[in-house]
Amino acid sequence: MSEAAATSMAPSDGVTGLVDDWTADKQTYHVPWGKAMMWIFLVSDTFIFTCFLTGYLNVRMTTTQPWPPQSEIFALSFGGAPIPLILIAIMTFVLITSSGTMALAVNYGYRRDKFKTIMFICATAFFGATFVGMQAYEWSKLILEEGVRPWGNPFGAPQFGSVFFMVTGFHGLHVSAGVIYLLWVARRIWAGYYDKKGFEIVEIAGLYWHFVDLVWVFIFAFFYLL
Amino acid sequence: MASSSDTAGQQHPLGIYYQIWILLFVVSAASYAVDYFDVQGAMRWTLVIVFMLVKAGFIIAIFMHAFWERLALVLTILGPPGVLLILIAFMAVEGDYTTEARFDYMGHDRDAVALTPAEVHGAGGEHGEEEAH
């Protein structure tokens, strides 16, 4: 009895803690419900994106037509010679910047610095919107200038277009939803909704945002670089 | 909540976030450099995948705080996606078999070469000089 009380007061770490968490007749995850549920959602989203990327792996391996040269297709010219993949590199840096501002927003949220939290959330949403804007430019360039379609393109394997629109489209949808979600959270913080409730919501929104950045890490590597 | 002390949220010094932030920029620049300097072959695959895993690892561990979470939550997050590695391995094996069958028995051209934008739009066009291959 006294031992159990001691355990619940100071939970042990590591494998002993893992066993304690799962075997005690109480909740398993010692985090707010919203955070646990966000993690469950992100795990399911991981499955969706992995299915897309595995489908990409399969069509890329099985198509006998040559894969279009991404580096040159996504090149951009600023007056001079085209710089390979530069637009995608800038998009990557924009998304990493937004991830950093989100981490700061979470930190200032727990410090209960409402003004800085809102500012950093808005900065994150701004960089997210910038990313989506650049993606819209990338799509229109590919569709209008390069003639890439989901069913074919002038360069090589037609699957290139299907994978491109599917994967980057679904990721862009996540970024767009994230921007709306962040602005909604910022507005509720501004209204004082979390003053008594606590600022876990910023960390939960942050988890979603970092996940979107995480997915881009894999898309950047597998679709654009390899 | 079972105990309020461990639900207080993830609060850490700002310094670690700045360090990881800078690290992510450097590693992203490095993976872009792989493409910019046209590294090819096994070296390209190795570098791109190593940089990708480093970035993903630090985002999950530090930005998403998995490093500080209890093992029960960490395993819930990282365990199920582990089975996806099996799916990837199966599809890779299957893909290899399919593509070889198409080359060997269906007469697909093993030496086909993709066109570049310069070739499609004509050299010297808006996409500039064609690069040497």
Per-residue pLDDT reduced to its tens digit, B57-85: 999 999 999 899 889 899 999 999 989 99
Per-residue pLDDT reduced to its tens digit, B122-133: 754 444 444 444
**Greater model confidence, A71 or A211:** A211
d(CA B72, CA A45): 20
Domain total of chain A: 1
A186 is a domain residue: yes
From chain A residues 164-183, the ones with a CB under 8 A of any chain B CB are none
Q: Given this model, what pLDDT does residue A49 score?
A: 95
Q: Given this model, what pLDDT does residue A14 score?
A: 85
d(CA A40, CA A36): 6
How far apart, in Å, are the Cα atoms of A127 and each of A30, A38, A51, A130, B107? 32, 22, 27, 5, 49
For B111, phi then psi, to 5°, come to -105, 15
Domain CATH for A202: 1.20.120.80
Q: Which domain covers residue A207, as residue numbers?
A: 14-225
Q: Do B99 and A63 touch (CB under 8 A)?
A: yes
A193 is a domain residue: yes
Residue A55 has pLDDT above 90, yes or no: yes
Q: Identify all chain A residues contacting B43, using CB atoms and an 8 Å cutoff.
A: none
Whether B40 has its CB under 8 Å from any CB of chain A: the answer is no
- What average pLDDT does this structure show over A132-144? 95
Whether A90 has its CB under 8 Å from any CB of chain B: the answer is no
Domain boundaries, chain B: 1-69, 81-133
From chain A residues 142-161, the ones with a CB under 8 A of any chain B CB are 146, 154-157
CA neighbours closer than 13 Å in the CB half-sphere of residue A13 = 4
A1 is a domain residue: no
Residue A1 has pLDDT above 50, yes or no: no
d(CA A52, CA A155): 22
Q: Identify all chain A residues contacting B3, using CB atoms and an 8 Å cutoff.
A: 8-9, 11, 30
Q: Given this model, what pLDDT does residue B3 score?
A: 37
Per-residue pLDDT reduced to its tens digit, A148-170: 999 989 998 999 999 999 999 99
Report the predicted TM-score, pTM, of the whole model to 2 decimal places: 0.88
Per-residue pLDDT reduced to its tens digit, A199-217: 999 999 999 999 999 999 9
Per-residue pLDDT reduced to its tens digit, B23-63: 999 999 999 999 999 899 999 999 999 999 999 999 999 99
3-state secondary structure A119-150: HHHHHHHHHHHHHHHHHHHHHHHHHHHCCCEC
Per-residue pLDDT reduced to its tens digit, A6-15: 445 567 888 8
Q: Given this model, what pLDDT does residue A10 score?
A: 62
Q: Given this model, what pLDDT does residue A77 score?
A: 83
Q: Given this model, what pLDDT does residue A2 score?
A: 46
